[in-house]
Every structure is written in structure tokens, then in C-alpha cells.
Amino acid sequence: MAHALEIAVARVTKDLNYQAYIKGYKKILPKVRELLQESGVDLNRGGGIPDLQAFKRHLSQYRIVVYSSLRCDNIMFDGQVTTS
């Protein structure tokens, strides 16, 4: 879950290492660990909606959408961008 979010952030922010991350040429694990620590999420026993909510609070400038299947109409979680 955290790994997928970091890959998505790299894509959206046009991170120069994005292609290297998705191909496994460059390790993204340090960024994943940082995200977990900063968001206070522990995924040692799996993750769920409360963890997505914690990620969303930390990544408030991004919209996080999780689908329950490959069909885009089966939304399991939709964390809208918050505006101030």
C-alpha cells in the first residue's frame, strides 16, 4: 500500500526516478519507510481503511482512490483533496 502510494506520488510529481522505481532499478524503500513513519502507519499486519485515512491525512494534497476490483466503478476508498 505505502509502496504504491510512493510510486504514484513519484509519477504525479514527475520525479526523475519514476521509471527507475517502477522497473526496480532504483530502490524506493527509504521513501516508503519515511511515509510510514511520518503518517504513523504500521502495515506489519496488513492494512485497511484506517491506514488509508492516515495516509490521506499525511498526503492531503493528493486524491487517493482505491478500487476493489479492476473495474473503475468499484471504489473502495476515495480520499478527496482537501481545500483550505
Q: What is the pLDDT of residues 16-65, one digit of tens each?
A: 999 999 998 888 999 999 999 999 999 999 999 999 999 999 999 999 99
Q: How far apart are CA 27 and CA 33, in angstroms?
A: 11
- Domain segments of the chain as ranges: 2-79
**Tell me, what amino acid is at 73?**
D
Q: What are phi and psi of 62, to 5 degrees?
A: -115, 150
Specify the pLDDT at position 71: 79
